[in-house]
Amino acid sequence: MTIPVVHQSPRNPRAAIENRRTFDAAGVVCVNLTGAAGTGKTSLLEAILPRIRDKLRVGVITSDLATTRDAQRLAPLGVPVVQLLTDGACHLRADHVRHALAEMPLHELELLLIENVGSLVCQARNDLGEHARVALLSATGGDGAATKHPAAFATAALILLTKCDLLGHVEFDVEQTLNRLRRVNPYAEIVYTDTRKRVGIDRVAGWLLGYVRAHHVERTSRARASEPVPVPT
Ligand code: MG
Ligand code: ZN
């Protein structure tokens, strides 16, 4: 199986706007998964893709500093996968994604999931042209993530507390974390997940399906509203 591998591209400050237009023109909803290294972004995709791929045509752009390991894990799941390599950069930029879109059969898709680089340092201020963000924090990553990277959680539509089976075994103040998350983002849905025991996986899959459906309903009604009103003759 050959997986397309794409490296960094020249800077393009308009790439986020161009990506969004490209997604909208192709009728694709784009969701950006962010989370520090080891929060389980790839594992989450491995658990979720088999649940949604029969209901939704989905593709994945995965990213890494230098390795193609994530793409190799995801490609056997039978969805189009492109591996983006940032060559050491700690986040994706919209122009990286734009570059990868050339390898993605966008017109065949309804949902494009982007697995961002494992870091939260500058993900929040890098608009990729996505429609929504999902932010992960894990029980093993410590309970400081919400305090250290508030913007990452403030801009998320869905927040996942991953590896929740380990809560109780690690130093992690759940109540304080939930309070912090609620303070920076009162609107996001928060879901506990554990990919090994399949906790929360159906809810996340359902959230994605619902999000794509709602997006299409909104687009269709917007398109209808802009149609000229027929004049009676
Ligand atoms: Mg990964
Ligand atoms: Zn960065």
Kindly report, residue by residue over 142-191, the tens digit of the pLDDT.
Answer: 888 888 999 999 999 999 999 999 998 999 899 999 999 999 999 999 99
Dihedral sign from CA coordinates of 114, 52, 39, 192: positive
Ligand 2 (single-atom ion) residues, CB below 5 Å = 90-91, 122
- pTM as predicted: 0.93
- What spacing in Å lies between the alpha carbon of 121 and ligand 2's midpoint? 6
Higher pLDDT, 233 or 65: 65
Q: Give the Å distances, CA to CA, from 127 to 50, 57, 185, 198.
A: 28, 24, 18, 31
Q: Which two tokens stand for residue 126?
A: 């890098």
- What spacing in Å lies between the alpha carbon of 40 and ligand 1's midpoint? 7
- Ligand nearest to the backbone CA of 92: 2
- CA atoms within 13 Å, Cβ hemisphere of 7: 4
